[in-house]
Chain A
Amino acid sequence: MSRARAEQQPATGTTLIVLVGLSIAFLLFMAFLNVVKSGNILNEANLLYAALIFYAGAGALYLGFGVTGTDSYIRFASLATWAGLIANSGAVAHRWYEAGHPPFASLYEMLLSFVWTLAALTLIAEKRYAVKVIGTVTMPVAIVGVVLMQLLRSEVRPLVPALQSTWLHVHVTLAMLAYAACALSFALAMMFLIQDRLKTENFLAATSIFTVGIYAAILTRFEKWGGLSVVAWDAENKTEVFISRGVRLFVTIPDLGWMILLVFAAVAAPLVLYMLARVKNSEGFLSMANRAVFISILLQTLALVFFLLRARDGVYPSLDAEGLYQTSLAASPFILSALVAGIFANLLYLLLLWRRKDLERLLPDAEALDRITYKTICIAFPLLTLMIAAGAYWANRAWGSYWNWDPKETWAAITWLVYAGYLHMRITRGWRGRRAAYFAILGFAVVMFTFFGVTYLLPGLHAYA
């Protein structure tokens, strides 16, 4: 069966590449015509649109590889990524110039920087570490990122006094770099586990547990009668609505809670089926579990679309105050990221399920990946250290104290300790291979909690971004 497919491959291979190339050219031409009418070509919005087109092309080719296994796609996908990165850099530069500060001050700007970093990392991983297949993962995320940016408001927000400091920019830049390095180490550790022949069903269990965790976290906002609480948005001041210092105002989007509950059941199903397969030692349950993953992806996408439609510009009542309040996507970055991350993780699992042999062929061997993971953490750890130090120095200049045992600060320290633990276990105890990979994955989980969980899940002590 696979041999027959391989014989068919060369023909469809070039077809897709040519199709993608033509589409890119067409879209760029149309955009150019539009832009020529309005006059200003090299502004941020146009550059971002060009980047989106190139990333979409690259993503299509990478996904094409994911579905059919043709290697030549990857080469052209690289080229498209390069083009997209150049356009994206233009957009970042324009934004920086317009705003007067590096693009880190709002969700829109964070997404801009994030997408740029993804493209840059994709190319670095390909050139430096010869991991060519990483684009299959990063480009779709980049596309989603740019699409989300189109849905957010993009005005430049002036900075309040506390944020007007060089040290803030240093701290946030270091944080972004450190988290990017940690994310890369996570991806590499995952790749190691693939090359180390970890069974596919273990990946199924892990993905399932992750998705269940995400939906459980979203369900903490489930209100009686089936609504979902999201933070209200003050469109005039372009900020979240606060009842009092540090306490946000929540509105309830009706019926969204039921939707999330339904999808929660759908994402729990693969996990349950997996456990049944383990207990009964049956292959049948396992294949049902895989089919359940596919169905859950469809339902998760439905939930995302529903959320986007309802939360984008809605007006809803609140349980805490009279009247109707607006909401916006910018007010709910966590729910948004969580929904996208869930879909994405499950898609990656499907890629592994369908294309494991090809991935094993294209990825470096396990030992190399183990070493590269260690090297990446050797970059991430000093960055984390400097980030914490810069944050402490900035806090000292702004509020008079360099350490307050704030939840954000404390969890950053915990992250630092976990990665220090990884280094100790590796250098002093010689932990390699699987144990080191699991430790690296744990480290990234803690990073994600520090970045997202502290603001979203923890009691509102000092809730700031």
Chain B
Amino acid sequence: MALSVRSAYRKTWQTLSSIKTGVILIILVVIFSAAGTVILQRPMTDPDDMQRAYSPAMLRLLDTTGLTDVFHAHWFVALLILVSLSIIAASVQRFPNSWRFFARPYKSPDEKFRKALPTQAQIAITEEEHALDAAERALHRLRFKSERIVRTNSFSVFAERNRISEMAVYIVHASLLLIFLGGIVDALYGWRGSLTLTPGSASNHVELRNGAGQELPFSIRCDGTGEETYADGTPKRWWSKLVVIDGLREAARKEIVVNDPLVYRGVRFYQASYGRTGKLDHLLLDARPSGSASNAVQQISLAVGQSVKLDAETTVELAEFIPDYVVQDGHVYARSNDVENPAVHLIVTSRKTNAVVNVWLPEIPGIAENASSPYIFEPKDLKTGLYTGLEVSHEPGQWAVWAGVVLMAIGLTFVFYISHVRFWAVPVRDAQGRLALWMGGTANRNREAFELKFKELVEQIENELKPAVVAGQAPATSIAGR
């Protein structure tokens, strides 16, 4: 019984940590992610568009399988977790070996190792100490730090660089896991929503994507907002002056623009959009008495519901402002909130005659009574209210994500560009019993560049040792390399 449990556990572990599993999982992630871009996804698409695109039966199938919201489906999240587990398992399984290799440098190569090493050379020498000195000097010239290793009755020389490169792959995978961790934290504890403010108003209520509301422990007030445009009308810059009110004091203030948010206590406020509310701020009018030939023009400004005295007898009130008017059945309705087709309803009251005249600009036939008004009005300008649309987000996990990105950049640099190079120089006796200096080297990447460097090293040592060679005896050097 116990044996089968252990072997089942071992089998699971082996499957989880194998490269094949990793590749299969990644292929699955790719397939389902691709599906999530080809099939319309609910969070981003109008429900009407969804119904128009797919037949009811197909839509039901897609909804039940979760294919209409792939990236938030439980099975997709489970798949990503499996990928993370596979990375962890593969790393854990291979780490002990790599750590042994990393933590215990192999400084003194034995005979078997020397025989089998692909990159090696042998230089005939007359004296050990002189040869080792030459080797050390040559290594120093190639900017390697060398050390003398004590052997049974002699020394050998060992030099290496960038041992950390052996751990590089674990750094890369750890960074990937860190990024995943950040993503998971944000998925669980983060939120995103929007908040609309008009100048002067304040709010602490954020409307989240899924419709729910989020109350902030502080409020945000808009002190002003505006837009700059280019000559041809395209938007150049949207800005908002925001003030954070925490408790009773103004804790922070900033003028934000797109790409430059306000951050307070982990909550970020972004300038997302800008526009005009349909509501009128004020209307500028020119008023001229009708009938008489006088050219006395009065310039008045009216807000909705506000009235102004034109003369001792007459007052005018701005009763209604309709940004986009349409006439139906003798009544005036608002078609939309965009200032497309504005109409203004003024009520002119004459105290003398007790007459109330409904003036409409433009003059809407059948409704307007402009002809009987004692004053003629000409609209000059209207200013509608502004609003600023803010995106608000709280993403506590993003620090893990950015840390992971930096770590991955470091890891990739090491994986691709930094190679762990080792050199050994050992005095040996060759088959005929003559003294020789055995040179060997390894590199874990960029092998062609390494081979060249090794050749250069051997040449330098030979040149140093040339005078020491006994006249008549040609130096026997053999180089083997891949």
Which residues of A pack against B, CB within 8 Å?
Answer: 158, 160-162, 164-165, 167, 236-237, 371, 378-379, 381-382, 385-386, 389, 392-394, 396-403, 405, 407, 410-411, 413-414, 417-418, 420-421, 424-425, 428-429, 454, 458-459, 461-462
> When the two chains form their complex, are residues B401 and A397 in contact, meaning their CB atoms are under 8 A apart?
no
Q: List 28 A-B contacts (CB under 8 A).
A: A160-B235, A161-B235, A161-B238, A161-B271, A381-B416, A382-B413, A385-B412, A386-B409, A392-B401, A393-B402, A396-B395, A396-B398, A398-B258, A399-B270, A401-B393, A402-B398, A403-B183, A405-B33, A410-B36, A410-B37, A411-B34, A414-B33, A428-B19, A429-B19, A459-B40, A459-B53, A461-B37, A461-B44
Contacting pair B36 A405 (CB below 8 A): yes
Q: Which residues of A contact B36 (CB under 8 A)?
A: 405, 410
Look across to chain B and name the residue whose beta carbon is closest to the beta carbon of A394: B259
Closest to A247 in B: B49
Cβ B40 vs Cβ A461 within 8 A: yes
Q: Is the CB of A414 within 8 A of B30?
A: yes
Q: Which residue of A lies closest to B230 (CB)?
A: A158
One digit per residue, 1 when the CB lies within 8 angstroms of any chain A CB and 0 when it does not, for chain B 30-51 equals: 1001101110110011000000
Query: At the interface, is chain A mostly helix, strand, loop or mixed?
Result: helix
CB distance from B46 to the nearest CB of A (A): 10
Give A58 Cβ to nearest chain B Cβ, in Å.
Answer: 31
Cα–Cα distance between A98 and B230 once the two chains are bound (Å): 16
Q: Are A462 and B393 in contact (CB under 8 A)?
A: no
Cβ-based interface call for B224 (8 A) = no
Contacting A461 at CB < 8 Å: which of B26, B33, B41, B272?
B41
Contact with A along B215-255 (1 / 0, CB 8 A): 00000000000000010111111100000000000000000
A28→B297 CA distance, assembly (Å)? 68
Contact present for B44 and A158 (CB under 8 Å) = no
Q: With A397-B261, A399-B272 as known contacts, state yes or no: A385 contacts B408, CB within 8 Å.
A: yes
Nearest B residue to A382 via CB reads B412
Q: Assess A400 versus B40: contact at CB under 8 Å? Given A382-B409, A382-B412, A382-B413.
A: no
| B23 contacts A by Cβ under 8 Å | yes
- Is there contact, CB below 8 Å, between A454 and B23? no
Cβ-defined contact, A162 with B259, below 8 A: yes
Q: Which residue of A lies closest to B401 (CB)?
A: A402
CA distance A372 to B391 in the complex (A): 47
Residue contact B391 to A461, C-beta cutoff 8 Å? no
Residues of chain A with a CB closer than 8 A to B391's CB = 399-400
A418 to B34 alpha-carbon distance, docked (Å): 13
Complex alpha-carbon distance, A378 and B22, angstroms? 21
Residue numbers in B under 8 Å from A411 (CB-CB):
34, 37
Chain B residue, CB-CB nearest to A157 = B234
Question: Which A residues touch B381, using CB under 8 A?
Answer: none
Residues from chain B with Cβ under 8 Å of A420 in the complex: 26
Q: Are A158 and B258 in contact (CB under 8 A)?
A: no
Contact assessment for A417 and B29 in the assembled complex, using a CB-CB cutoff below 8 Å: yes
Is B392 close to A, CB under 8 A? yes
B386 contacts the other chain (Cβ, under 8 Å)?
A: no
Whole-angstrom distance between the Cβ of A422 and the nearest chain B Cβ: 11
- A164-B33 in contact given A158-B234, A400-B192, A424-B23 (Cβ < 8 Å): no
Which residues does chain A contribute within 8 Å of B420, judged by CB atoms? none
Given contacts A454-B37, A458-B37, contact A160 B234 (CB under 8 A): yes
Q: Does B345 count as interface, using CB distance less than 8 angstroms?
A: no
CB-CB under 8 A from B402, the residues of chain A are: 393
Q: Can you name the residue of chain A whose Cβ is closest to the Cβ of B405?
A: A389
Closest chain B CB from A244 CB (angstroms): 10
Cα(A19)–Cα(B332), bound, Å: 78
Contact A421 B23 (CB under 8 A): yes
Question: Is B260 on the interface with A (CB-CB < 8 A)?
Answer: yes
Residues of A within 8 A of B33 (CB): 405, 410, 413-414
B268 within 8 Å of A by Cβ?
yes
B400 CB, nearest partner CB in chain A, Å: 11
Residues of B within 8 A of A459 (CB): 38, 40, 53
- What CA separation (Å) do A418 and B29 show in the bound complex? 11
Q: Is the CB of A237 within 8 A of B232?
A: yes
Contact B37 A462 (CB under 8 A): no
B71 within 8 A of A: yes
Instruction: Determine the residue in chain B with the shortest Cβ distance to A428.
Output: B19
Contact, CB under 8 Å: B38 / A458: yes
- A378–B445 Cα gap in the complex (Å)? 12
Question: Which residues of the other chain, B, contact A162 by a CB distance below 8 angstroms?
Answer: 258-259
State the Cβ distance, A379 to closest chain B Cβ, in Å: 8
Q: How far is the CA of A399 from the CA of B271 in the complex (A)?
A: 8
B392 surroundings in chain A (CB, below 8 A): 400
A381 CA to B172 CA in the complex, in Å? 13
> Is B437 an interface residue when CB atoms closer than 8 A count as contact?
no
| B234 contact from A237, A413, A414, Cβ within 8 A | A237
Q: Shortest CB–CB separation between residue A330 and chain B, in angstroms?
A: 16
4 additional A-B residue pairs with CB within 8 Å, beyond A160-B235, A381-B416, A459-B38: A161-B257, A385-B408, A400-B261, A417-B30
Per the bound structure, the CA–CA distance linking A7 and B1 in Å amounts to: 85
CB distance from B475 to the nearest CB of A (A): 33
Partner of B236, one of A161, A413, A414, A454: A161
Q: How far is the CB of A309 from chain B (nearest CB, A)?
A: 29
Give A311 to B248 CA distance when docked, in angstroms. Answer: 63
B60-119 at interface with A (beta carbon < 8 Å): 70-71
A400 pairs with B268, CB closer than 8 A: yes
A92–B181 Cα distance when bound, in Å, is 42
Contacts of B401 in A (CB 8 A): 392, 402
Complex: how many Å from CA A389 to CA B401? 9
> Which of chain A's residues have a CB closer than 8 A to the CB of B405?
385, 389, 392
Contact of B259 among A379, A392, A398, A421 (CB under 8 A): A398
Q: State how many angstroms separate the Cβ of A383 from the closest Cβ of chain B.
A: 10
A407 to B327: give the CA distance in the assembly, Å. 44
